[in-house]
Amino acid sequence: MQPITTTNPRATENREIGCDAPNVSKKSESGLANLKYMLVGLAFGIVFVKAEIISWFRIQEMFRFDSFHMYGVIGSAVMVGMLSVFLIKRFNIRTLNGEQVYIMPKTFNKGQIYGGLLFGFGWAITGACPGPLFAQIGSGFWAVLVTLLSAIAGTWLYGYFRERLPH
Amino acid sequence: MSFLEFIRQPWPWYVAGPLIGLTVPTLLLIGNRSFGISSSLRHICAACLPANISFFKYDWKREAWNLFFVVGILLGCFVATYFLSNPNDIVIAPATETALRAFGIQDFKGLMPADLFATATIFTLKGLFFFVIGGLLVGFGTRWAGGCTSGHAIMGLSNLQWPSLVATCCFMIGGFAMTHLLLPFIFKLVL
Question: How far is residue B15's CA from residue B9's CA, in Å, rounded to a whole number?
Answer: 12
The yes-or-no verdict on residue A2 having pLDDT over 50 is no
Does B134 contact A150 at a Cβ distance shorter than 8 Å? yes
The yes-or-no verdict on residue A1 having pLDDT over 60 is no
Distances (CA, A) of A56 to A37, A136, B34, B126: 26, 10, 27, 15
The count of other CB atoms within 10 Å of the CB of residue A93 is: 14
The yes-or-no verdict on residue A108 having pLDDT over 60 is yes
Full-model pTM: 0.93
Chain A: residue whose CA lies nearest to B157:
A78
The confidence score (pLDDT) of residue A10 equals 67
The confidence score (pLDDT) of residue A23 equals 81
**How confident is the model over A2-17, as a mean pLDDT?**
57
The confidence score (pLDDT) of residue A11 equals 66
Chain B: residue whose CA lies nearest to A74:
B17
The confidence score (pLDDT) of residue A9 equals 60
Domain extents in chain A: 46-162
The confidence score (pLDDT) of residue B102 equals 96
Q: What angle do CA B85, B90, B91 make, to 5 degrees?
A: 140
What pLDDT digit, counting tens, does each position of A65-82 carry? Answer: 999 999 999 999 999 999
The confidence score (pLDDT) of residue A14 equals 62
Does A88 contact B29 at a Cβ distance shorter than 8 Å? yes
**How confident is the model over A53-69, as a mean pLDDT?**
96
The confidence score (pLDDT) of residue A12 equals 61
Low-confidence ranges of chain B (pLDDT < 70): 1
| ipTM of the shown complex | 0.95
The candidate with the shortest Cα–Cα distance to A80, out of B66, B20, B104, is B20
What pLDDT digit, counting tens, does each position of A114-150 carry? Answer: 999 999 999 999 999 999 999 999 999 999 999 999 9
The confidence score (pLDDT) of residue A5 equals 45
**Residue A47: its chain B contacts at CB < 8 A?**
11, 16, 19-20, 76
Alpha-carbon Rg for chain B in angstroms: 19
The residues near A80 (Cβ < 8 Å, ≥ 6 apart) are B17, B18, B20, B21, B22, B24
Q: Would you tell me which residues 45-104 of chain B have a C-beta closer than 8 angstroms to some C-beta of chain A?
A: 45, 49, 51, 53, 55-56, 58, 62-66, 68-82, 84-86, 90, 92-96, 99-100
